[in-house]
Amino acid sequence: MPETATHVGSGKVRELYALDDERLLLVASDRISTFDVVLPTEIPDKGRVLTGLSAFWFARTRHLCPNHLLAVRPDARSLECRRLEMLPIECVVRGYLTGSGWKDYQTTGAVSGHVLPEGLRDSDRLAEPIFTPATKAHTGHDENITRETAAELVGAERFAEVEATSLALYRFASEYAADRGILLADTKFEFGVDDEERLVLADEAFTPDSSRFWPADSYEPGRPQASFDKQFVRDYCESLGWDKTDPGPELPDDVVTGTRARYVEAFERLTERSFDRYLEDPEAVLR
Ligand code: Q0Z
C-alpha cells in the first residue's frame, strides 16, 4: 500500500510532510527567492541540488553531531527525517561580517553580545567564528538575540552544547569548502532533541539557502560579496529597477540556465561527485 504523507508546514521554498508519528518528509522545491520574494520562475533542479548538499553534509558531520537524516528519496529532492522536538532558536555561526551581523555591528559595535574590534568592514573575515543566535520569526525577519536570551530560551546547559556544536560544524565545513574555492560566510542550523534528550542536527545543513556561499576567487572585503548561487538573479533584478515587493519578475532563460549551472557547480565542487550521478543514485552521496 502506498504511504500517505500529511502536509504539516511550508517554508518559502520547501514543504514539510508527516509520514507517521516518528518521521517527516522534507521536500525542496525548485522555487527561488531573492530580496525575500519568491519569484514566479523556477530554477530546474535547484531543490535536488540543495537536498543532495544537505544529505552530503549530514553524512560527513555525523562525527560532530547526530542528525535527523534517515534516507534520501529516489526523487533526489526529498529527505526522510526523524521527527524531533525542535529548539526555539536559530543557531547562526558567522565567520565573516555581513548581512544582519554587519548591520548590528555598524549600529552597536556588537553582534549577539559579541563586542567586535573597531574598524571592521562589510564582509571582513572575523578573527574567530562567532555564534549569533536568532529568534525564529514566523513572519518577517529573524532577529539576533544575545547569548543570555538564547540561554534563557533553551537552558544554560543546552545552550553551551548548541554553541560548541554549531562552532565545530562551521569550522569543519568552512575549512572543507574553502579548500574547494567556496567561502561559507555564515550558516544557520536548527537543532532538535530526541526522546532520549540527545541534541540532533535537523532541517538543512550548509545549503546555499541556509548559508552564504561566496566564490573565494573574487572575495574582496569592504563591499558586499557576489553570491555564488544567486548573483545572476540579483543582477538581473537590479537591472530592472524592480521595487522588491511581491510579485517579483519572471526570469529570462539565460538567467535561469546560468543560475542552474551555478547550483550544479556548487554541488560538484563540494561533493566531488557528478550531479547527473546523484540523480541516478541519490543515496550514493551519503557514502
Ligand atoms: C523543521 C521547516 C520545511 C517548513 C519543523 N526533524 C524535524 N522534526 C521536527 N520538526 C522539524 C524537523 Cl526538520 C521542522 N521545520 C522547518 C521546513 C518547511 C518548515 F521544509 N519545521
Q: What is the pLDDT along the chain (287 residues), one digit of tens a residue?
A: 768 999 999 999 999 999 999 999 999 999 999 999 999 999 999 999 999 999 999 999 999 999 999 999 999 999 999 999 999 999 999 999 999 999 999 999 999 999 999 999 999 999 999 999 999 987 778 999 999 999 999 999 999 999 999 999 999 999 999 999 999 999 999 999 999 999 999 999 999 999 999 999 999 999 999 999 999 999 999 999 999 999 999 999 999 999 999 999 999 999 999 999 999 999 999 99
pTM: 0.98
pLDDT at 124: 98
Ligand 1 pocket test target in 21, 23, 67, 86 with most atoms within 8 Å of CB: 86
Nearest-CA residue for atom 19 of ligand 1: 11
- Whether 24 and 18 have beta carbons less than 8 Å apart is answered as yes
Q: Which residues contact 70 (CB under 8 A, 6 or more apart)?
A: 23, 79, 80, 81, 82
CB 114 near ligand 1, within 6 Å: no
pLDDT at 3: 82
- Whether 137 and 143 have beta carbons less than 8 Å apart is answered as yes
- Distance of alpha carbon 206 from alpha carbon 229, whole angstroms: 13
Q: Is 39 buried (19+), middle (13-18) or exposed (0-12) by CB count in 10 A?
A: buried
CB 16 near ligand 1, within 6 Å: yes
pLDDT at 97: 98
Nearest-CA residue for atom 2 of ligand 1: 11
pLDDT at 2: 67
pLDDT at 168: 99
CB 25 near ligand 1, within 6 Å: no
CB 256 near ligand 1, within 6 Å: no
